[in-house]
Amino acid sequence: MVRRHELSDAEWAVLSRLLPSSGTAGRPRSDDRLVLNGIVWKLRTGSAWRDVPERYGSWQTLYTRFRRWALDGTFSRMLRAVQAEKDAAGDIDWLVSVDSTIVRAHQHAAAKGAVDRDEAGDHALGRSRGGLSTKVHLACDGRGRPLGFVLSGGNANDCTRLEKVMDSISVPRVGPGRPRSRPDRVVADKGYSSRKIRAYLRRRGIPHTIPERADQILGRLNRGTRGGRPPGFDRCIYRRRNVVERCFNRLKQWRGLATRYDKTRESYQAAVTIASILLWI
């Protein structure tokens, strides 16, 4: 019987193929499905590692496996593999929406005094209006599934991270060829309306649907013919931008993501990656 917050048989059938082998030397490692169920339970409920039910085994084992796979890139490779399979089946809508969301950081997410030192930025923590927070900058496909994301402090401006978000999109090919990283079109809100961003997307040959801010429209009109033509804007396409909002809503159903409890960037990034993988399955 599958308990609440555990992997379904269909999810396990996909993930079991993507896990690294345990090797032959040394003591056999704990059952992978049991460990993954414990990790997923912890992230879905937002509980402390020590409070994970004993039926999943030792919490130290769960934490050690989680940290190992977070640091060696196992979770990221699993996400890329799932995306590659979907792309090969023609199941990715390359109308990509970009946005960000603020995640409040729990007091346990920052080591004592860390917010006053340079390393706070290294762990994607920053002071915003609501206190310590992290911002998740994310690009999703037209069906609301994460293609790539980056983390920053909560005080970071959205437009300063768009290029990194676009760089995080890298869907491998099943067979020869370089990973696909260029969407058919990018849709974003007014927070991404800048000459630098529009020039960047044009250089990469990526059409975009981004509305102008009121001050930008006024400035262009005041410059007359020197202001140039307004950028193309299709309202029908822009209405589809809400898929990224729905993607954030689904991710934040995981209480361990809606509030950040992890001290390190790597751990919180791994948590978002695990939830993203399950959105694709």
Question: Looking at residue 235, what is its pLDDT?
Answer: 87
pLDDT band for 230, please (50, 70, 90 cuts): low
Across residues 194-205, what is the average pLDDT? 93
Going by the DSSP 8-state scheme, the letter that residue 239 receives in this structure is G
Whether 75 shows a pLDDT value over 80: the answer reads yes
Question: Looking at residue 119, what is its pLDDT?
Answer: 40
Q: What is the pTM of this model?
A: 0.90
| Residues 228, 233, 239: CA angle, nearest 5 degrees | 160
Whether 219 shows a pLDDT value over 80: the answer reads no
Question: Looking at residue 141, what is its pLDDT?
Answer: 96
Higher-scoring residue by pLDDT: 222, 102: 102
Output the CA–CA distances (angstroms, integers) from residue 128 to 104, 119, 136, 156, 168, in the order listed. 9, 17, 14, 9, 25
Output the CA–CA distances (angstroms, integers) from residue 110 to 122, 132, 252, 255, in the order listed. 12, 9, 20, 18
Token pair recorded at residue 107? 């007091």
Whether 29 shows a pLDDT value over 80: the answer reads no
Block residue for tokens 């929406």: 97
pLDDT band for 175, please (50, 70, 90 cuts): confident
Domain 74-280 carries which CATH code? Answer: 3.30.420.10
pLDDT mean across residues, the chain: 89
pLDDT band for 197, please (50, 70, 90 cuts): very high
Block residue for tokens 């954030």: 248
pLDDT above 70 covers what percent of the chain?
90
Domain residues of the chain, as ranges? 74-280
Angle, in degrees to the nearest 10, between helices 265-280 and 32-45: 100
Helix (H) or strand (E) holding 97: strand 95-105
Dihedral Cα 231, 235, 241, 242, nearest 10 deg:
150
Each residue's pLDDT tens digit, 123-168: 888 887 778 899 999 999 999 999 999 999 998 999 999 999 999 9
Across residues 3-15, what is the average pLDDT? 91
